[in-house]
Amino acid sequence: GKTTTKNLLANILNIKKPTHATKGNLNNNLGVPITILGLDSKHKYAVIEMGANHINEIKHLREMVNPDIAIVTNTLDAHIGEFGGLKNLITAKGEIYSSNSQNIVNKNTNFRGDISFGNGGDIFATNITKNSFDLNIHDKKIQVVLKLIGKHNIENALAASACAHALGVDINTIKQGLEDTSAESGRLTIIKNKKLTIIDDTYNASPQSIKAAIETLQDFEGSKVAVLGSMAELGSESIKFHNEIGEFAKQKIDTVYSYGDLAINYNASHFDSLNKLAKHIIDNHKGSTVMIKGSRMVGLNDLVELLQK
């Protein structure tokens, strides 16, 4: 949720004053300096995304940026293999917080901060539907209708709202910025043609993000198909995670297909050729909604292209 939260927050702040933000997900030791170099005197705000694959990386980036406001969107299992376990991943993410910044925390994590978001937090959502909710900031409430699909994006919207609130942005401006934000390519982007409705979520994949995508697919009418690619960076627990997600998907969705070396562990109908998979979907699932998701290395974006031909 880092990149989506960054985009939501940048859109909110840009309504108030010129805002500079990380391009795409240039969030590492190379990307963060590039983002900083893009700042100039006209910018009032900078929204800088930070990512890591080992302990002390975010600490180094935080010292480089010295943020006024810091936020961890969640502590879920993306990239868990690179850290050697969830405990190390949480430690690494927590490096973004310091006594020099106003610290914003997800109420569902064990972090403690100045402002919290989520159930039981200072900023929270009520009356949640597929893509709308009531945004609650202390004693104020307003309805927000997102262009982004997926209930997990409501949490990203709350994270962005908490940051904007910490900067003194009013609730009406927050609503406007949230509602003006569209999905980036490959992040639950909807593509419709005469044959299919395609949900392109091929940008990347982790166990939690695949679950969120499957739950999003469930909200669509009619026949539903999930195409799941391998998940990378899960280390020694990779087979276990693939088994669990495969079981979860098959319980929720009519038809599940898999592609990629590790994806065979989903124990779903497996294909080793994208051309064959595309032909099978077109021949057998006309009129269906097809959600496609996997780690970038798998190249499922090529399947999205094939299904549009």
Residue-wise pLDDT for 188-220, tens only, equals 999 999 999 999 999 999 999 999 999 999 999
Structure tokens given for 146: 């997102």
| Choice between 172 and 25, residue whose per-residue pLDDT is larger | 172
For the segment 67-87, the average pLDDT, to the nearest whole number, is 74
- Quote the CA–CA distance of 239 and 262 in Å, as a whole number: 7
Closest CA to 300 of 232, 229, 245: 229
Strands (E), 157-301: 189-192, 197-201, 224-229, 255-259, 269-271, 289-293
* Mean pLDDT on 82-109: 85
Q: 197-201 and 189-192: which strand pairing? A: antiparallel
Of 84-93, 129-138, 228-237, least confident by mean pLDDT is: 84-93
Q: The whole model's pTM is what? A: 0.89
pLDDT at 305 over 80: yes
Residue 77 is predicted with a pLDDT of 54
Average pLDDT over every residue of 256-283: 97
pLDDT given for residue 87 in this prediction: 80
Q: What is the mean pLDDT of residues 140-145?
A: 98
pLDDT at 262 over 80: yes
Q: Is 286 helix (H, G, I), strand (E, B) or coil?
A: coil
What pLDDT, on the 0 to 100 scale, is given for residue 233? 84
Question: Which domains, ranges and CATH numbers included, belong to the chain?
Answer: 2-179 (3.40.1190.10), 189-307 (3.90.190.20)
Q: Which residue has the higher pLDDT, 82 or 244?
A: 244
pLDDT at 73: 87
Q: Read off the pLDDT band of 75 (50, 70, 90).
A: low
- How many whole angstroms separate alpha carbon 272 and alpha carbon 258? 9
Q: Quick check: 272 pLDDT over 90?
A: yes
Residue 251 confidence (pLDDT): 97
> Span 128-133, mean pLDDT?
92
CB 39 within 8 A of CB 13: no
Can you tell me whether residue 113 is helix, strand or coil? Answer: coil
pLDDT at residue 78 greater than cutoff 60: no
From 55-59, 124-128, 199-203, 297-301, the region with the lowest mean pLDDT: 55-59
195-201-205 Cα angle (round to 5): 140
pLDDT above 70 for 52 = yes
Checking if the pLDDT of 81 tops 60, the result is: no
Confidence of residue 108 (pLDDT cuts 50, 70, 90): confident
Residue 114 has pLDDT above 80, yes or no: yes
Answer for the pair 201, 213: CB distance below 8 angstroms, yes or no: yes
Q: What does the pLDDT read at residue 82?
A: 62
The arithmetic mean of pLDDT across residues 216-228, rounded, is 97
Nearest-10 Cα torsion for 182, 187, 188, 192? 80
